[in-house]
């Protein structure tokens, strides 16, 4: 395993591929403050964003489906409060709100041209801006890699100055599904699951993305909260938290076993959560890891991980070995996070 973390600096800024958009190596994901993770107070959400930005965060990821624009509007509120704008990536959901794609379904069935235009306008209104930094399709299928109609629509939006970069967010189960679009030069960024428990993108996607100047946004670096290190066999989730239907019984037991296997990371004196976030941006192919935060304390923890820098080489080596011998044999969608992330 190449020790990608060597030679980099703590708190470093990176560039989102060929876009020229400067990002902090740890950004802020906003799914949890929008919907799907239990009850969330908007005041806490706004305070969390403010705290992350106070500590140097320079990239936010959101989506229209996070509370049907709720997270986008909260970001706009923070920017208005601060009199400052920072790079934001948002996502347009498939028009049927079904993230999986049946074989033979053309991309235009999920993302017709007029729909992409109308939804772009909606995000512009929610974010109170005249230009989206990154406009991402919120799902992808490998069978779409040769289609161009959607791309022509995105190019028109870019020519009109309404978007800067074109991105896709791939399914948790198919990290390499957009490789054809990467090779064809149709995407500027790809968002995917990348964490200690799922290291597939490091070999399946990162080399190709680097070759074509495509930025990588690494979501779910804490494995849906498992790598916070706080879960136990008695852990339960609120009914309106998507994890309540997933992390129970054998699945919870297996996840806890994985967590125990990486507890050695805490021997450094740093929390498991911090070390997991640091892993997610230790590879320079990652433009930004985008963990979520629901309050200022969590936001501070994320930014502390950024300032601590990438993991040391010996930790990366041990995690690579665990990946090859254990985690890669039992990839579970539930560990990686829900499809909508």
Which pLDDT score is estimated for 9? 45
State which H helix or E strand residue 245 sits in: none
How does pLDDT run across 252-289, given as a tens digit for each residue? Answer: 888 899 999 999 999 989 999 999 999 999 999 999 99
State what percent of residues in the chain have pLDDT above 70: 92
How many Cβ atoms from other residues are within 10 Å of residue 240's Cβ? 12
Which pLDDT score is estimated for 10? 52
What average pLDDT does the segment 148-175 reach? 97
How does pLDDT run across 55-100, given as a tens digit for each residue? Answer: 999 999 999 999 889 999 999 999 999 999 999 999 999 999 999 9
CA–CA dist 135, 153 (Å, integer): 12
What average pLDDT does the segment 33-38 reach? 62
Q: Is the pLDDT of residue 250 over 90?
A: no
How does pLDDT run across 195-224, given as a tens digit for each residue? Answer: 999 999 999 999 999 999 999 999 999 998
CA distances from 223 to 105, 159, 196, 201 (A): 30, 37, 8, 15
What average pLDDT does the segment 139-150 reach? 97
Q: Is the pLDDT of residue 130 over 70?
A: yes
Which pLDDT score is estimated for 37? 58
CATH number belonging to domain 13-223+276-312: 3.20.20.100
Sorted by where each begins, the domain ranges of the chain are 13-223+276-312
The pLDDT-based confidence of 247 (bands split at 50, 70, 90) is confident
- Angle, CA of 79, 80 and 86, to the nearest 5°: 20
Q: Is the pLDDT of residue 6 over 60?
A: no
Q: Is the pLDDT of residue 158 over 70?
A: yes
Conformation bin of residue 133: beta by default, left when phi > 0, alpha when psi is -120 to 50? alpha
What average pLDDT does the segment 149-163 reach? 98
């Amino acid at each position: 395993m190449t020790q990608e973390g060597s030679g980099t600096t703590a708190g470093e800024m990176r560039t989102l591929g060929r876009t020229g958009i400067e990002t902090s190596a740890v950004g802020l994901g906003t799914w949890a403050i929008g919907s799907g993770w239990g009850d969330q107070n908007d005041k806490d959400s706004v305070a969390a964003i403010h705290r992350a930005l106070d500590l140097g965060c320079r990239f936010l990821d959101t989506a229209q489906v996070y509370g049907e624009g709720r997270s986008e509007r909260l970001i706009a509120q923070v920017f208005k409060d601060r009199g400052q704008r920072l790079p934001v990536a948002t996502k347009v959901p498939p028009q049927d709100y079904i993230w999986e794609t049946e074989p033979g379904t053309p991309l235009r069935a999920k993302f017709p041209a007029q729909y992409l235009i109308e939804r772009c306008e909606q995000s512009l209104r929610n974010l109170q801006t005249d230009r989206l930094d990154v406009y991402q399709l919120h799902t992808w299928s490998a069978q779409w890699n040769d289609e161009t109609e959607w791309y022509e629509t995105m190019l028109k939006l870019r020519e009109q100055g309404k978007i800067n970069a074109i991105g896709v967010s791939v399914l948790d189960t198919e990290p390499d599904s957009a490789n054809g679009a990467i090779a064809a030069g149709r995407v500027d960024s790809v968002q995917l699951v990348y964490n200690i428990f799922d290291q597939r993108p490091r070999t399946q996607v990162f080399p190709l993305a680097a070759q074509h100047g495509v930025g990588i946004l690494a979501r779910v670096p804490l494995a849906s909260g498992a790598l916070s290190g706080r879960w136990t066999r008695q852990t339960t989730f609120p009914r309106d938290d998507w994890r309540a239907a997933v992390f129970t019984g054998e699945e919870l037991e297996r996840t806890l076993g994985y967590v125990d296997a990486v507890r050695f990371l805490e021997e450094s004196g740093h929390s498991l959560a911090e070390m997991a976030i640091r892993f997610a941006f230790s590879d320079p192919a990652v433009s930004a890891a985008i963990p979520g935060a629901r309050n200022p304390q969590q936001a501070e923890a994320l930014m502390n991980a950024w300032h601590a820098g990438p993991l040391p080489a010996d930790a990366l080596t041990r995690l690579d070995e665990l990946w090859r011998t254990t985690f890669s044999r039992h990839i579970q969608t539930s560990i990686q996070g829900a499809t909508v992330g």
